[in-house]
Amino acid sequence: MDRRQRKTREAIFSAFIDLLSKKDFGQITVGEIITHADVGRATFYSHFETKDYLLKELCEELFCHIFDATNNEQSEHRHLFDCDAPNSVFLHLFQHLQKNDNNILELLSCQNNELFLLYFKINLQRLVVSQLPLFEARKSEILPDSFWVNHIASTFIETVRWWIDNGMKESSETITEYFCLAV
């Protein structure tokens, strides 16, 4: 994707994020998105087949950045964000949340948050599977792996909710420590 296409795509994402913070997903029209993004209808459809596809792509862009970083040997990666990934993937997630990259906090706390949390949890579960050795000492032998992965992912999401609801006063390092202690 060339720079012009990437900028157009980011403008559409930005407009969509802004609209999602104000309206329910079902009430947003493609017309509103293209007006807000200042792009033509043909341009929109050259990037996204439907509004649902835009939502799916937005979630993938927001979350795959973080999850892809765990699969790469490189410490730098690029999607919608630029960053130097820390060694802890969970700290990495909390750092992006704390920086509020791409207004991700609004997405996770807006009226449409269940859509984003669903995508987030699916990807988070894959991440947890890759990080299971970190939690192995705490796992009871009787627990099925699928239950354990779901528990860790759910604990992470509830930690994020608690952190947001309490004004994110803790540093990303501290909240990562809380999460690790809670699992």
Residue ranges of domains in the chain, CATH in brackets = 3-182 (1.10.357.10)
- The per-residue pLDDT for 111 is 64
- The per-residue pLDDT for 26 is 84
Counting runs of H as helices and runs of E as strands, what totals does the chain give?
Answer: 9, 2
At 87, the pLDDT band (50, 70, 90 cuts) reads: low
- Cβ burial, residue 88 (10 Å; 0-12/13-18/19+): middle
Q: What would the pLDDT profile of 14-31 be if each residue is shown by its tens digit?
A: 999 888 878 888 889 999
Looking at 72-114, which runs of residues are DSSP E strands? 76-78, 82-84
pTM of the complete model: 0.73
Sequence-separated (6 or more) residues with CB below 8 Å from residue 145: 132
Q: If you average pLDDT over residues 101-130, what whole number do you get?
A: 75
- The per-residue pLDDT for 38 is 97
